[in-house]
Chain A
Amino acid sequence: QVQLQESGPGLVKPSETLSLTCTVSGASISSYYWTWIRQPPGKGLEWIGYIYYSGTTNYNPSLKSRVTISVDTSKNQFSLNLYSVTAADTAVYYCARRRVVPANGYYYYYMDVWGKGTTVTVSS
């Protein structure tokens, strides 16, 4: 059974860097894509970006200038760095496994396993 667990500071100061790690258990991080998604308090879901185990990344254009996602296959982990944070970055941050499944000449794209989420507050 695949499980994901987010970890990292719950409080970050404005203008500093938000750093989170997602530890994958029950499956190898290799051969899959992994993604970060966030949810501000009382609001909807926002996709941040994803990474392939090889290191290939894709980011939300609205966050691209401030985001880096990296992977450590030896630790079965992937990480999120969000730079120059403001109060608007306060949210629950989720890591999830991204599936790309071939079907009938196309691909299915969805997130099938999610971590429980970690709350990050940006405040001085």
Chain B
Amino acid sequence: EIVLTQSPGTLSLSPGERATLSCRASHSVNSSYLAWYQQKPGQAPRLLIYGASSRATGIPDRFSGSGSGTDFTLTISRLEPEDFAVYYCQQYGSSPPMYTFGQGTKLEIK
């Protein structure tokens, strides 16, 4: 089973700043199988990025994903007030065939 480790656990930034969130896998992940979600308090997760770098429908272009192998990054180029939330990475592994999520990074207002 592939374990995803996200860092930092909490990131404190101000609106307008750039956010860089990391997701590291215990074994190499096919980048096609890597996704990112945003979750606000009391809400369901929302898909942001799939295939490591493709933005989901309706997602602003300030969100971008990159990476390959074991290291993946979600970047928010210029933080808006509505971007402060918890972010999860997710991968689909083939051995065994299952989804795993990172433990999340909380992005909070500084």
Contacts and interface: CB of A to CB of B under 8 A. Distances in A.
Contacts of A115: 44
A99 B90 CA distance: 13
Contacts of A101: 50
Contacts of B44: 94, 96, 114-117
Interface string A87-124: 00000001010010101101111111011110000000
A103 B101 contact: no
B96 A109 contact: no
Contacts of B56: 110, 112
Contact of A108 (B51, B97, B102, B104): B51
Nearest to A92: B44
Interface string B20-46: 000000000010110101000001111
Given A110-B50, A114-B45, A45 B30 contact: no
Interface residues of B, number: 27
**Range class of the A interface residue count:** 20 to 34
A47 B46 contact: no
A61 B43 CA distance: 27
B47 A44 contact: no
Interface string B81-109: 00000001010100011111111100000
Contacts of B66: none
Given A112-B56, A116-B44, A107 B32 contact: yes
A16 interface: no
A104 to B, nearest CB: 8
A103 B32 contact: yes
B98 A61 contact: yes
Interface in B52-99: 54, 56, 88, 90, 92, 96-99
A58 B101 contact: no
Lowest 3 CB-CB distances: which A-B pairs, in order?
A109-B92, A47-B99, A114-B44
Given A106-B33, A114-B44, A114-B45, 11 more contacts: A47-B101, A61-B96, A94-B44, A106-B32, A107-B32, A108-B51, A109-B32, A109-B35, A110-B50, A110-B56, A117-B44
